[in-house]
Structure 1
């Protein structure tokens, strides 16, 4: 089964980050939360502090198949300022590995030129950051190996799309039913 790394920066959107982790784990998908700060404690946009599983420096990318970027402000901006993360995101996308971003975080993909000519969605107002994208405004947009989500109200749609991409339609349906969706 593919393994997922979800990156946390100070100011991350708690509902998105923790909701995605919860849904992926319900599906039996291995996911690690990765702090891009110097320590494992990361504080979200609404002052909820979480303990990440590991730090960016500790992550063995050879053991990771999918990269996920939650939104929130200034979390997405902080992700976008982390050169090591951006390098890995670009590398993964160019190798055809799955990269997913929700809310304001698709700005990272747009800034790297990864959305050129591709369908994408984001939190309203961040469309100019999706450089070259065909902005859909949908809850979730999938174009090849790139998955983008609109925002916190659509975290279930986004995470379930990840479940389907990684583990198939049957697992998505099973998790969806368990969540009463």
Structure 2
């Protein structure tokens, strides 16, 4: 892969129970494209993955959420899983951190159940999105235009449904980060 993201910094916000492939694959592809990627969590201890049907590996955290500054990053990525976004959507600091990326017009990627965080951050109204099918009604109720596609891009917001969509998701996320600021924001 080309180094099209040289000099770009990407935050991956996660906590225990993230779907392992939805963090490990985008992280590897973003780094392969030249980005510096930091895993950010509510605290600085390692976070444990959910690997399809059982607990997976523990991943290092680069920064605690309280130490992370949106100004230091060009983009945000939110992996799914069930436990991870359900926990983060109840964390005011995580919601504030997420909201700031939208306010700054920076690209954001969310996959699977990751859009739950976006709903609680109040940034989905009027946006075209996809997600894991079981949360489609949640997104519709929050004012999003949901469709069942492998990847949907809406002015810097990249969403996908599940691990099977990771290739399309990563490709579009890298493209959006490479383009930079998205000033015509809906949120």
- C-alpha separation in 1, matches of 2:62 and 2:44: 10
Q: Is the 8 A contact 2:74 2:177 kept in 1?
A: no
Shift of 1:17: 0.4
Gaps of 5+ in 1: 169-181
Give the TM-score, by structure 2 length.
0.83
Within-5 A mapping of 1:11-160: 11-36=17-42, 38-46=43-51, 47=55, 48-130=57-139, 131-160=142-171
Partner-residue secondary structure (3-state), 2:18 = coil
Distance 1:112 1:7, change over 3 A: closer
Shift of 1:58: 2.5
Give the TM-score, by structure 1 length.
0.86
Q: Is the 8 A contact 2:89 2:121 kept in 1?
A: no
- C-alpha separation in 1, matches of 2:62 and 2:120: 27
Shift of 1:113: 2.8
- C-alpha separation in 2, matches of 1:119 and 1:23: 24
- C-alpha separation in 2, matches of 1:52 and 1:18: 13
Q: In angstroms, what is the RMSD of aligned CA positions?
A: 1.5
Shift of 1:145: 2.2
Q: How many residues align?
A: 167
Gaps of 5+ in 2: 1-6, 180-187
